[in-house]
Structure 1
């Protein structure tokens, strides 16, 4: 499936985030999927059944079955493995991806078609009414009224955000971390979450974490995915040409708690902290040390930018 980016050639966190950034414009709700103890809860019978659908080699399947049941050694004591993929093994990511491929198929062949319709949103009736009044005011030469109407139009979306004939559902997964973006009412987002939980429970013997599986409003809140906070932008004044193109665009932000934790070693009570080890150094040594740290930081930034595809 094209929406799975974990443990696959030429794919990773950056390609997953880039897809969200480039194609999820206009999302209304984020459904953050968190499977409770995913890798430790994979059902062995379900996994072998999935493998058997594509692999007609009983010796290979027997080898996988024996590996799954081999158990583990901890503090020189053997423990049985009744479920889950062997942690740390080279085959574990592949087996987990094969297992969750069923989830990808369900979302892409069932949920997305059920919750995607309409080519584009209908025009906003309130916006159209103001547009007609503006045209009449301009024909009359009433500049004051035209300016007032234009200001009111700027604060309204040109498309109808509640258009019942328009829905979009998008999906992305990296390993066991998956995210859905839905354009539509919250009640339907709740239905999607319930259907997802039921499929995982009935077909894959997995459970969604009720505490961590959240439905977040894309404009007023932010979803956590692969270390970023994902939200949609809204601005009533910034315009590009004739349209407010910033509205509905995806924004990826570093969480504030991450920024604070990264800054903490360099701060003392919220203020820049001195480097005691450099106090008695020469001016040249201080400047040289600063230059070295800055160059390392700059190289790291360039490497990240290259991985992100030069956003």
Structure 2
């Protein structure tokens, strides 16, 4: 029997850090931060060539990188420059001026919200985004060591699913049925700059030059839609790369204060004992909690996702006192205002509590309380409306689009809704409501005089479509179009999985469950990094590393491993003279000895070279494919 190929676990951020040799640096920063050390001289790491190149790599994968700021430039403009020029310009932007770093004005754009209001979005210039990414990469590993386990938003390897799983656990297993719903008024617009800088200092980030740069980022001027310029005195720009990390720094103090009231209280730690559960060593605090329940201490647990958080209590009296204390603490310590009309105590045995687009309560079943959750009413109405509108566009496509393209957009929306909300216990009931609305629209509008164009049979599904919808009788097609219309009602509840305490991006043992290291000679990557190609762009240099990984360190023609780094050549399939671009799809790594076979020589000379290199029939096919791409005659 053929051996099954081992599935390689890969996290993009970690793989990119490996390409640029930064993973070990991040691991060291995390370990030092965990040990309580302080950090100075971080700007040297921020402005190191490898960190700047890694920042470019991470930004270009984001579709927002092609959105221009006030300088009208995007990531493509940076990618076309040589690596040395990009590194030099980033360093000059940050340290070259006698007045220090001065970010260009941030472009303000108002994004419509479902309730009719708008959300202000700040779009920094692309060079300032690159600077922010450089800083974020260094700060993230330091901050992650200090962040609470009860924070789930905008952090590596944490998600909405983890936050909802923890919520279910506190309601169903810990029986904490009084939920405090908090709302901080305009959190991102009201962050106190001085307080934030002090919090960063307390986390051990004590590089004054870096803190100066961060203060300048916070105070970057904002270019309003009417052309006027505003100079902010508080808040973090929504849309800035570093803003989510800074928001977590602000609220990390709240997380730890709540933890100190119960889960990290000295009594809990004093009576705690180490236990082995399955294969993991766990510090069991249950005895400490029993002691604390006999005191006047208030039992409370927090689950936070960015600025949206819930606190769980055992009874109404504790919940009332906790709400007063937390409201006062947020006002006095964080200089933020809690919205009284949106802050409330919910008994989830009687009514739903809303969190992250879900409405959650518990009901009695077999002598105990069990979690029940739905898509919350506003979101259900919104998703139903959006999918209904897209169904109309299947019948009457938007200008410049085909029916097949509109079906593709509809299918993407279906997958998006299902993937996000499938951890709601009653997801199938909610999706059935949406399905009825959608099918009514499609059936009515595709019902013509010649018959209904909505049919049960069409083109063959892909393997992934068969796996997901192959057993469904609800798949439909538009007559004459082979693309299936995905049935949103064909969905099954997925148990929300909590985060494993052992998982961590910044330690070798913590990465084992989520990421496999590169199984190839890393000195090849180091050589390519340290010897950037002359006369080529940053995008070209970055793609060489991707190709080296994708080709598993082997030549595309001979499939032999590259033994000597200087034997690696990055070849353009379509030459520049013929309009070829320095993009991943147009590049391939070859052994240097095969280059003469890709030049315009006479047939006899080419055959002689083939004979010298003992080119096989398979290799000749690869060579001729590359020659054809360059409009050269086959050998």
Correspondence 1:182 to 2:332: no
After superposition, give the CA deviation of every residue in 1:244-276 in whole Å (9 maximum; x if it has no partner). 2xx22332222345445544637999x945634
Correspondence 1:296 to 2:486: yes
- Structure 2 residue corresponding to 1:56, chosen from 206, 213, 216: 206
Distance, in Å, in 2 between the alignment partners of 1:208 and 1:81 is 21
After superposition, give the CA deviation of every residue in 1:90-116 in whole Å (9 maximum; x if it has no partner). 0000100111101101110136549x9
Correspondence 1:278 to 2:425: no
- The answer for the alignment partner of 1:241 in structure 2 is none
Distance, in Å, in 2 between the alignment partners of 1:171 and 1:234 is 24
Alignment of 1:163-178 (within 5 A): 168-178=299-309
CA contact (8 A) 2:150 2:304 kept: yes
- The answer for the alignment partner of 2:242 in structure 1 is 91
Figure out how many residues of one structure are paired with residues of the other and give that number. 258
- The answer for the alignment partner of 1:254 in structure 2 is 375
After superposition, give the CA deviation of every residue in 1:141-165 in whole Å (9 maximum; x if it has no partner). xxxxxxxxxxxxxxxxxxxxxx999
CA change 1:73–1:259 in 2 (3 A) is: closer
- Structure 1 residue corresponding to 2:343, chosen from 209, 213, 228: 213
Residue 22 of structure 1, CA deviation: 2.6
Residue 305 of structure 1, CA deviation: 4.0
3-state secondary structure, aligned to 1:24: helix
- The answer for the alignment partner of 2:255 in structure 1 is 104
Distance, in Å, in 2 between the alignment partners of 1:84 and 1:297 is 43
Distance, in Å, in 2 between the alignment partners of 1:175 and 1:12 is 11
Correspondence 1:42 to 2:42: no
Distance, in Å, in 2 between the alignment partners of 1:300 and 1:214 is 36
3-state secondary structure, aligned to 2:157: coil
CA contact (8 A) 2:170 2:312 kept: no
* RMSD across aligned positions (CA): 3.7
- Structure 2 residue corresponding to 1:80, chosen from 231, 241, 244: 231
- Where structure 1 has 5 or more consecutive residues not aligned to the other structure, the ranges are 123-162, 239-243
Residue 120 of structure 1, CA deviation: 11
3-state secondary structure, aligned to 1:27: coil
Distance, in Å, in 1 between the alignment partners of 2:214 and 2:296 is 48
CA contact (8 A) 1:36 1:206 kept: yes
- Where structure 2 has 5 or more consecutive residues not aligned to the other structure, the ranges are 1-147, 269-284, 389-433, 459-473, 478-483, 499-635
CA change 1:166–1:96 in 2 (3 A) is: closer
3-state secondary structure, aligned to 1:275: helix
Residue 56 of structure 1, CA deviation: 1.7
Alignment of 1:224-243 (within 5 A): 224-235=354-365, 238=366
CA contact (8 A) 1:7 1:94 kept: yes
- The answer for the alignment partner of 1:191 in structure 2 is 321
3-state secondary structure, aligned to 1:296: coil
Distance, in Å, in 1 between the alignment partners of 2:262 and 2:229 is 43
Distance, in Å, in 2 between the alignment partners of 1:173 and 1:47 is 18
Distance, in Å, in 2 between the alignment partners of 1:284 and 1:275 is 8
After superposition, give the CA deviation of every residue in 1:15-55 in whole Å (9 maximum; x if it has no partner). 10011113432123110111111111100000011111211
- Structure 2 residue corresponding to 1:16, chosen from 149, 163, 180: 163
Q: TM-score, normalised by structure 2?
A: 0.36
CA change 1:168–1:52 in 2 (3 A) is: closer
Residue 295 of structure 1, CA deviation: 5.8
CA contact (8 A) 1:118 1:167 kept: no
3-state secondary structure, aligned to 1:46: helix
- The answer for the alignment partner of 2:123 in structure 1 is none
Residue 168 of structure 1, CA deviation: 3.9
Q: TM-score, normalised by structure 1?
A: 0.71
Distance, in Å, in 2 between the alignment partners of 1:111 and 1:299 is 42
Residue 67 of structure 1, CA deviation: 1.1
Residue 71 of structure 1, CA deviation: 1.9
After superposition, give the CA deviation of every residue in 1:173-217 in whole Å (9 maximum; x if it has no partner). 000000011112x12211100110111111100111101111011
CA change 1:299–1:98 in 2 (3 A) is: farther
Correspondence 1:222 to 2:371: no
